[in-house]
Structure 1
Amino acid sequence: MKLTTVGIDIAKNVMQVHYIDIETGEIVNKPIKRAKFLEHFANRESCLIGMEACGGAQHWARQLILMGHQVKLMPAKFVKAFNVRNKNDAADARAIWLAVQQPGKAIAVKTEAQQAVLALHRMRQQLVKFRTMQINGLHGLLTEYGEVIGKGRAALDKAMPIVLERIADRLPSMLLDTLREQWNGLKQLDAQIAEIERRLREWMKEDKAAKALMEIPGVGVLTASAAVATIGDTKVFKSGREFAAWIGLVPKQTGSGGKVKLQGISKRGDVYLRTLLIHGARSVLAHAKQPSLWVEQMLKRRPLNVVVVALANKMARTIWALLAHNRLYQTDYVSVKPA
């Protein structure tokens, strides 16, 4: 049975729906209020529903799947190519309707537990960003009064008491008190970040897949938990190579007339997970006492950063293989291409 294709442009209060009625051939493009949205699809036959992977999309996708519909979440950049005229809700819904009928890699619909893990990662990332901003702000403010402190958190913590004592006689107390509060606020941010990491470690004790990924060199608590939650269903990807390409750890291709040029990595997909993998690969190269033969050969003929990205690509493929085949990590494992 052919499914009715539906494009939905979701928003906070009004959802724009676009589809063609199979019985009458009428083009339907109408807004539906949030309270009536699920009711509209409750008594319909199974549909293929396309939505942009934006805020709230995962929630609505789970609800629609429970009703028996098929849901395909697509990146906004993929959908944008199908909106050729004005930018409004009706045009966006039509563009999504066109995009969902094209072949392309869908974004996995995640469970609430997987989204909870990713939420912890996003909040931790935000706190780290705030902490970095606050450190840089203190450096900049003190420079205005001739107090130059070395880079990094350790240099700031070491110099701050001395600097505050030195400038106490020539600057107003209201500024000194504020600087001291901002400096002490860094410890509060440290505590919040550490608490989130503790909760992630507690969650990993109950998740076998995340514990298995921890055995991979360069994969820690953050990378393992983020990978499990981001991938969702491994069946979305046909191979580890496809997963690595989805993250953006493969060369970007440009060319014409049969001549293809390879450039830097494409940087597509999940920026956060790609960053974790690259940092993990860099730590392996920096701290490994005996690098593998593959790494040693790569370092002889390629720059360091290229080797880092190549190792991150290899780590991504390994992560997918362990999750897809439910295996444990083996250092000397050699993959064999099926006949």
Structure 2
Amino acid sequence: MNSMAVGVDIAKSVFQVHYVDQETGEIVNKPIKRAKFLEFFVNRAPCLIGMEACGGAHHWARQLVKMGHEVKLMAAEFVKAFNIRNKNDAADARAIWLAVQQPGKAVAVKTEMQQAVLALHRMRQQLIKFRTMQINGLRGSLTEYGEVMSKSRAKLDQEIPEVLGRVAERLPAVVIDTLREQWNGLVKLDEQVAQIERRMREWKKGDKAVKAVSEIPGVGLLTATAAVAMMGDARAFSSGREFVAWAGLVPKQTGSGGKVNLHGISKRGDTYLRTLLIHGARSVLTHAKEPGPWVEQLSKRRPKNVVIVALANKMARMIWAVLANDRPYQKDYAGVKPV
């Protein structure tokens, strides 16, 4: 592998490339149009290419890896530390070039299938957001006319026909028809969400990793598919704790002079995955008949929310262990520390 490092700042139309020519020592920092980007690297000796893990980065990384290059995707906040003074494409490419040569955890390059599953999650999340906004809009509109709806979606569906009938005596028909259309639109959003979940279940049937992870208590369809897709290659993390730290489920640390203080969870990494893990842990505590002796003992000593986060941490470690070691989940499995 050629030791030459290249920093690439990708964009919509023009990419910026920064490197030092090993033969002449010339510092090269130049823009390349999108259509000519792959052509620029196709005849070059294999080198280390650094990019920020942003929109389109995984696609370009896959293409460059096929050419024999080594690609290192990095979090934007890691690159930001190397950007001094001005914020422009040339400075960003130089910062990426500096960052790619430093030791640090790279973002695993995702496959197209993994990106497709994450796209389903994002679209489902967006539909749920639209549905919540529409429900709140209906409640607010009816409150303006003295009709306060009960909480929960089920209560809304139960009460709204009678409420619309009452306000129809006082309001123009155009308003009532519009409110009724908004209410009927909720059913369409429900169907779209259900259709996306059906597609996720279809993927689960044919994916060995998702099926294995789904056996862990508290890991359902959404958590299993999101964890497998976001993690990419489980071996990119050296341990389960490293994966949990990446997910933001470990204490934030501050300290000086040899004294380290532990605070609440760092909340770094992907908020969506962390939310799913915490909801899964909460469901275990609420619905499981036997959550386990470890959870029962911890519940006696710590507040409920602390127990939930600790259980989510443990679930994330189990997900990593199942995927990294390619073995099925075993309820009472005890790991052995290497000698």
Q: Read off the aligned partner of 1:242 and give its amino acid letter.
A: E
Q: Read off the aligned partner of 1:160 and give its amino acid letter.
A: I
How far does the alpha carbon of each residue in 1:201-233 deviate from its partner, in whole angstroms, 9 at most, with x for none?
111111111111111000111111111111111
How far does the alpha carbon of each residue in 1:39-68 deviate from its partner, in whole angstroms, 9 at most, with x for none?
000000111111111110010000000011
**Which residue in the other structure is 1:317 paired with?**
317
**Which residue in the other structure is 1:139 paired with?**
139
C-alpha displacement at 1:108, in angstroms?
0.5
Preserved contact between residue 3 and residue 48 of structure 2 (Cα < 8 Å): yes
How far does the alpha carbon of each residue in 1:248-304 deviate from its partner, in whole angstroms, 9 at most, with x for none?
110000121221111111111121111111100000000011221100111111111
Alpha-carbon distance in structure 1 between the residues aligned to 2:136 and 2:198 = 26
- The SS at the match of 1:261 is strand
C-alpha displacement at 1:104, in angstroms?
1.2
Q: Read off the aligned partner of 2:308 and give its amino acid letter.
A: V
**Which residue in the other structure is 2:48 paired with?**
48
Q: Read off the aligned partner of 2:253 and give its amino acid letter.
A: Q
- The SS at the match of 1:269 is coil
- The SS at the match of 1:94 is helix
- The SS at the match of 2:181 is helix
Alpha-carbon distance in structure 2 between the residues aligned to 1:156 and 1:104 = 51
**Which residue in the other structure is 1:290 paired with?**
290
C-alpha displacement at 1:309, in angstroms?
0.6
Is 1:275–2:268 an aligned residue pair? Answer: no
RMSD of aligned Cα (Å)? 0.9
Alpha-carbon distance in structure 2 between the residues aligned to 1:237 and 1:175 = 56
Alpha-carbon distance in structure 2 between the residues aligned to 1:68 and 1:151 = 58
Preserved contact between residue 2 and residue 46 of structure 2 (Cα < 8 Å): no
**Which residue in the other structure is 2:124 paired with?**
124
Q: Read off the aligned partner of 1:274 and give its amino acid letter.
A: R
Alpha-carbon distance in structure 1 between the residues aligned to 2:77 and 2:176 = 48
Alpha-carbon distance in structure 1 between the residues aligned to 2:101 and 2:303 = 42
Alpha-carbon distance in structure 1 between the residues aligned to 2:42 and 2:32 = 14
**Which residue in the other structure is 2:82 paired with?**
82
**Which residue in the other structure is 2:195 paired with?**
195
Q: Read off the aligned partner of 1:327 and give its amino acid letter.
A: R
Q: Read off the aligned partner of 2:88 and give its amino acid letter.
A: N
- The SS at the match of 1:272 is helix
Preserved contact between residue 2 and residue 45 of structure 2 (Cα < 8 Å): no
Is 1:235–2:235 an aligned residue pair? Answer: yes
How far does the alpha carbon of each residue in 1:158-201 deviate from its partner, in whole angstroms, 9 at most, with x for none?
11101100100111222111111111101001000001100111
Q: Percent identity?
A: 76
Q: Read off the aligned partner of 2:218 and give its amino acid letter.
A: G
Q: Read off the aligned partner of 1:36 and give its amino acid letter.
A: K
Preserved contact between residue 8 and residue 49 of structure 2 (Cα < 8 Å): yes
How far does the alpha carbon of each residue in 1:93-113 deviate from its partner, in whole angstroms, 9 at most, with x for none?
111111111111111101111
Is 1:333–2:327 an aligned residue pair? Answer: no
1:31-42 aligned within 5 A: 31-42=31-42
C-alpha displacement at 1:316, in angstroms?
0.4
- The SS at the match of 1:50 is strand
1:205-284 aligned within 5 A: 205-284=205-284
The runs of at least 4 consecutive aligned structure 1 residues that moved more than 3 Å come to none
**Which residue in the other structure is 2:164 paired with?**
164
Alpha-carbon distance in structure 2 between the residues aligned to 1:38 and 1:110 = 19
C-alpha displacement at 1:2, in angstroms?
4.2
Q: Read off the aligned partner of 1:292 and give its amino acid letter.
A: G
Is 1:154–2:149 an aligned residue pair? Answer: no
**Which residue in the other structure is 2:94 paired with?**
94
**Which residue in the other structure is 1:7 paired with?**
7
Alpha-carbon distance in structure 2 between the residues aligned to 1:265 and 1:77 = 19
**Which residue in the other structure is 2:186 paired with?**
186
TM-score by length of 2: 0.98
How far does the alpha carbon of each residue in 1:7-26 deviate from its partner, in whole angstroms, 9 at most, with x for none?
11100100011111111111
Alpha-carbon distance in structure 2 between the residues aligned to 1:240 and 1:118 = 22
172-181 or 159-168: bigger deviation = 172-181
Alpha-carbon distance in structure 2 between the residues aligned to 1:251 and 1:69 = 37
**Which residue in the other structure is 2:65 paired with?**
65
Q: Read off the aligned partner of 1:286 and give its amino acid letter.
A: T
Q: Read off the aligned partner of 1:247 and give its amino acid letter.
A: A
- The SS at the match of 1:260 is strand
Alpha-carbon distance in structure 2 between the residues aligned to 1:39 and 1:52 = 20
* Matched pairs, number: 339
- The SS at the match of 1:263 is strand
TM-score by length of 1: 0.98
Extract unaligned runs of 5+ from structure 1. Answer: none
